[in-house]
Structures are given as C-alpha cells and as structure tokens.
C-alpha cells in the first residue's frame, strides 16, 4: 500500500544525519490543524543531534528538499517541517489499494508461522455469566481476531473454573436443599440460588463449611457420587454459557479448564523441588521472590493442596509443549496482576526462556453503583439479561422506523448485541467500569449501532447505484475529489492498517473501536455535504469509489471487534 509517511521519510533521510528512515518515520506526526499540513517533522529532537536550533533546522530542510510527485509543498513553521501531500495521488493510491484488498484491507502476513495462545472469558462453572465476564470475553475475542487478521495462528482457550472448594459447597447445598427436578428446571439459576443459600446458612451453621470441605476431598479422591454431581453441574453450565457465546459470536479452540491440570501439577512440584526453588514456610511450600521485590508465590498449602499458581504454572508448561506459542496472553482483571507477576517470575526462575512470552492483559474492575460484583451475595447483572434487553430495544426502534425490514429479528440481534460489545470495548481496557443500564442501552452518539447504521447507509447508496455500485470503481478520476470532507475521509481510511498494528502492539481493542467512530463521522459529513449519485458520470464514479472504500473499512473494523456489519437496518 502507498504509505505517505514512508515516502516522506525516504525524502528526508539523505538530509538528516545520524537517523535512518525508520527513525524518521517514527518521528513524523499529524498536525493538530489540517491547515498546517498532512504530516510534520518536529525538529526539536534533531536540535541535540545537529547542534542547531529547531527553527534553523526546519528552515534549512525546507530549502534543501524539493517537492516531488508525492509532496505538493513543504513549509517551515516554528521548528516544524510541514508537508502537504499531492492530494490527487494520495487519494488515488489509497482508494485503489482498499478496493483491491477488499476484505483483507488492513491485514498483513507479519504473523505468518507464529502462534498466539489467548486465555479469555474463563467463567466459573455453576455461576452466572454476568456483566463482569463480558470484558474478558469481548477483549479476548477481539485480540484473537486482530492477531488472526495479521497472519498469526491463534489458539483461543476458555480456561473454565471447573475445580475448587466451591464445588464442595455446591454439593453440600444440593444435598441439603436441592432436587434433581429443581435443577433441571432452573439450571444455572438454581445452582446459583443453592450457592447463595449455602453462604447464608453457613453464617448460622459453620459446620456446613466442614461438610463442604469433606465433599471436595471426596471429589478429589474420585468418589463416584461427588464426580457425578460435579460433571452434571459442568454440563448444565456449559450448555447455558454456549447460548451466550453464540449470541456474542465468540468461539474457542479449547475448553480445558482447571480440572484438566489435576494430574499435571505433581511433575511441576517435583521440578521445583529438584531445582531447589521450593521452601517451607509455616507448613506451606513457597517459591521465595524476595530478591525480585515480590511476595512469595504459594505452591502448596499446609494441608498439601495446590493453589491457582500451581495450576497456572502447569498450564503454561503444557501450553508451551502443546502449541509452542510465540506469545501466551491472559485476559483477566487488574486485581490479578500481582498473581501473574509472581508465577511469571517462577517460570523464569525455573529456567524457561519463554517466560518473556507470557503476557497479562489486565482490564479495569466492573461494579454496580460502586459495589463489586459477587455471586455469593447475589450481587450480579446477568449478561443474557443485558443482551436480551438490548435486542428488545433495537427491535422496538426498527418497528418504529423500518417495520418492513427483512430479517428484522436477526438485524435487531446483530445491532443489540453489537451495542453491548461496542460499549464494553470503547474505553481503554484498564479503565474501571460502573455498569449502567442507561449507558449500555443508549444507542445515540459514539455507539455500535451508529457505526453499524453508517455501514448500512453506505450499502444503501451502492444498492441505489445498481450495477455501477456493485462494480469495483478503480478507473475513477481522483482529482475530482477535491473537497475537505472527501480528503479527510480518505486520510482517515488510510490510517486503518496503522491503527490495527497499534491495537496489536498495545493489546488494546479500543483503538479499533474509537477509530470506527472516526470513520463513521467522516463518512457522514461527506454523505451530508456531497450528492453521490449525480448526473456527472466521472464525479459519480469517484464518489462511489470512496463509498465502497469506506464500507469495506467499516466492515473489516467491525469484524475485528466482534460485531456484524448489517447491510440494511
């Protein structure tokens, strides 16, 4: 693809001592005001290298560099070297590339031959899939798509919370107050009710905690009754979760949860012993991380039972052996940051050089009115409830504005679910989120439905153009696209590959989400200011090319964040 920054970097390289083309490329920036040019080189950093004032450097470079087919003119302003592109060439090269690339626009093969493992979603079995699980699921799904789009082989892992003392509590609750009929009828909701009741009853009857520990011990020992109930609870939960994943359009390549690693932890414990890393501390076994400035990593409790860190270390070693990953990414809440720092460091101390390929992708906490979500107290907002309400609201809007729309229930699902995902991915992932029904169900402004509607608007224009709209417009006259709105839209479209790379490098899907709003806003300004299906055949052809390029970019970007791109709304 034509890269204006690269062309300008090459133009500058012979005139800037001690900096190569790549370093100059990284220094170029977009001026805050379009009247100051399309790209600018700040000369302040060069001042230290060239031992001259930034103003003098900019003036000398402006005098030394001649405009060419890519650059119309060059200006020196207050220590900045401003470049004004040859608009016609830039528009032609950019739109032609987008139209020829089509569904692959923005993609690359940089990841060819490399494998990325992404651990995301990972709900706890027999607990509700609530709004707090959405963040890990939507961020992980988007990262999976971004890496895949850039040529990587991706392995998505749903590391289910299918083991632990909570199952002893659940079995105890079921034995005391549950029935097969009630569970079959209420499914996960009934399991949650039993779990919540256990904690309430245990406040008055602490002996229930001991009973729960005994049931979990029986489960670990392979007791037939305990294993049967455990497996039943898992099957019920997975069936319910799959409904949510189908709505969200999320897939996984592996559902190996915590229980999968039960027989893989003892070899890890032996290895830690053999390498002299295990130490006894108050009856427990730890890896001392004092020299690394971290609290000790607890590997075995005083009763000999394993912990999350033990399991995570075993899982990482298994995944490296199985997938030979280039990166293994964990998408979990920021509250687990210390946990990951600790066991990542243990992997390093074990002598595995691939410890540097382990990445924790933290996200901010989700609360309701400032209160933390908690299943044991019933303080949750179910994700299925949110998605269904969003779909219901979208359908009401469609019934009001376009009641004869074909497949309106499917479109309502695509846009309602899209609204929820887009809202979740719009903010930087590390930002804390306080759940608000009003915000999630607000479809005005910078929202998923706004971007999806813009895509549908572009599709409508192309349909009205008939055969001309379905034919790739590569023979257009780019010099006709001379307005500010047309040029700004092309510039924004040209930025798509850069934004994808940035999202991949920073493991930050919100970069794509916000970019899509920019595209939609620029497209709508162009659409409202300039008639597209004009009698002037040349102008019509050029503007249809711009519409086609915008539609493709919107569709590709929506896919990257897990949204559909409806053609009619």
What is the distance between the alpha carbons of residues 38 and 309, in angstroms, rounded to a whole number?
Answer: 51
The full DSSP string for 229-275 is: HHHHHHHHHHHHHHHHHHHHT---SB---GGGGGGGHHHHHHHHHHT
Three-state secondary structure of 496-556: HHHHHHHHHHHCCCHHHHHHHHHHHHHHHHHHHHCCCCCCCHHHHHHHHHHHHHHHHHHHH
Is residue 127 annotated as part of the catalytic site, yes or no? yes
Rg value, the chain, Cα: 28
Burial of residue 370 (CB within 10 Å: 0-12, 13-18, 19+) is: exposed
What is the distance between the alpha carbons of residues 266 and 131, in angstroms, rounded to a whole number?
Answer: 36
226-262 burial: b if 16+ Cβ within 10 Å, else e:
beebbebbbebbbebbeebbebbbbebebbbbbbbbe
β-sheet bridge partners, residue 39: 83
Looking at residue 281, the DSSP 8-state letter turns out to be E
Query: Is residue 230 within 8 Å of 185, Cβ to Cβ?
Result: no
Is residue 133 annotated as part of the catalytic site, yes or no? yes
Is residue 130 annotated as part of the catalytic site, yes or no? yes
483-520 burial: b if 16+ Cβ within 10 Å, else e:
eebbbbbbbbbbbbbebbbebbeebbbbbbbbbbbbbb
The single residue of 5, 70, 87, 133 carrying the catalytic annotation is 133
Nearest to 117 by CA among 256, 272, 310: 256
Nearest to 415 by CA among 243, 242, 249: 249
192-209 burial: b if 16+ Cβ within 10 Å, else e:
bbbbbebbeebeeeeebb
What is the distance between the alpha carbons of residues 185 and 187, in angstroms, rounded to a whole number?
Answer: 6
Query: Is residue 539 within 8 Å of 479, Cβ to Cβ?
Result: no
The single residue of 127, 349, 393, 564 carrying the catalytic annotation is 127
- Determine the length of the chain: 569
Query: Is residue 426 within 8 Å of 505, Cβ to Cβ?
Result: no
Burial of residue 369 (CB within 10 Å: 0-12, 13-18, 19+) is: exposed
Looking at residue 163, the DSSP 8-state letter turns out to be -
β-sheet bridge partners, residue 382: 130
Give the contacts of 159 (CB within 8 A, at least 6 positions apart).
Answer: 119, 122, 256, 257, 258, 315
Query: Is residue 226 within 8 Å of 218, Cβ to Cβ?
Result: yes
φ, ψ dihedrals at 310, nearest 5°: -60, -45
The single residue of 130, 327, 455, 491 carrying the catalytic annotation is 130
What is the distance between the alpha carbons of residues 361 and 266, in angstroms, rounded to a whole number?
Answer: 28
Active site (catalytic) residues: 127, 130, 133
């Amino acid at each position: 693809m034509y890269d204006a920054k690269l062309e300008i970097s090459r133009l500058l390289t012979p005139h800037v001592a001690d900096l190569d083309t790549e370093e100059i490329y990284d220094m170029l920036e977009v001026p805050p005001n379009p009247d100051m040019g399309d790209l600018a080189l700040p000369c302040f950093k060069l001042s230290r290298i060239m031992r001259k004032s930034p103003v003098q450097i900019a003036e000398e470079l402006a005098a030394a560099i001649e405009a060419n087919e890519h650059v119309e003119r060059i200006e020196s302003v207050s220590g900045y070297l401003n470049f004004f592109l040859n608009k016609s060439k830039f528009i032609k090269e950019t739109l032609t590339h987008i139209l020829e690339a089509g569904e692959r626009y923005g993609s690359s093969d940089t990841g060819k031959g490399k494998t990325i493992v992404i651990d995301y979603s990972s709900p706890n079995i027999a607990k509700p899939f609530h709004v707090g699980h959405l963040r890990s699921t939507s961020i992980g799904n988007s990262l999976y798509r971004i890496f895949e789009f850039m040529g990587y082989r991706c392995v998505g892992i749903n590391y289910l919370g299918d083991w632990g003392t909570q199952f002893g509590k659940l079995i105890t609750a079921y034995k005391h107050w549950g029935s097969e009929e009630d569970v079959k009828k209420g499914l996960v909701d009934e399991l949650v009710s039993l779990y919540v009741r256990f904690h309430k009853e245990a406040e008055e009857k602490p002996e229930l905690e001991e009973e729960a520990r005994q049931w979990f011990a029986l489960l670990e020992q392979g007791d037939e009754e305990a294993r049967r109930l455990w497996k039943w609870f898992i099957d019920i939960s997975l069936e319910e979760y799959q409904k949510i994943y189908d709505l969200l359009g999320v897939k996984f390549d592996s559902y190996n949860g915590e229980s999968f690693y039960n027989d893989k932890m003892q070899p890890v414990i032996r290895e830690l012993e053999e390498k002299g890393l295990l130490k006894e501390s108050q009856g427990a076994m730890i890896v001392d991380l004092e020299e690394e400035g971290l609290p000790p990593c607890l590997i075995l409790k005083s009763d000999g039972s394993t912990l999350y860190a033990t399991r995570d270390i075993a899982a990482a070693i298994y995944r490296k052996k199985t997938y030979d990953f280039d990166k293994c990414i964990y998408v979990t809440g920021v509250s687990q940051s210390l946990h990951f720092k600790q066991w990542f460091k243990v992997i390093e101390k074990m002598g595995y050089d691939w410890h540097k390929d382990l990445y924790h992708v933290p996200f901010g906490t989700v609360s309701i009115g400032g209160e933390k979500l908690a299943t044991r107290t019933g303080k949750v907002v179910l994700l299925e409830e949110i998605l269904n309400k969003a779909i219901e609201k979208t359908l009401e809007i469609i019934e009001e504005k376009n009641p004869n729309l074909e497949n309106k229930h499917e479109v309502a699902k695509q846009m309602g679910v899209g609204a929820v995902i887009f809202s979740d991915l719009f903010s930087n992932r590390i930002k804390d989120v306080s759940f608000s029904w009003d915000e999630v169900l607000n479809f005005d402004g910078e929202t998923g439905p706004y971007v999806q509607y813009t895509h549908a608007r572009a599709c409508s224009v192309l349909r009205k153009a008939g055969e001309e709209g379905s034919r790739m417009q590569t023979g257009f006259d780019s010099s006709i696209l001379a307005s500010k709105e047309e040029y700004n839209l092309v510039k924004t479209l040209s930025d798509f590959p850069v934004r994808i790379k940035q999202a991949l490098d920073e493991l930050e899907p919100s970069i794509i989400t916000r970019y899509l709003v920019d595209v939609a806003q620029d497209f709508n300004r162009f659409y409202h200011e300039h008639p597209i299906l004009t009698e002037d055949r040349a102008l019509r052809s050029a503007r249809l090319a711009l519409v086609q390029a915008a539609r493709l970019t919107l569709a590709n970007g929506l896919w990257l964040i897990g949204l559909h791109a409806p053609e009619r709304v």
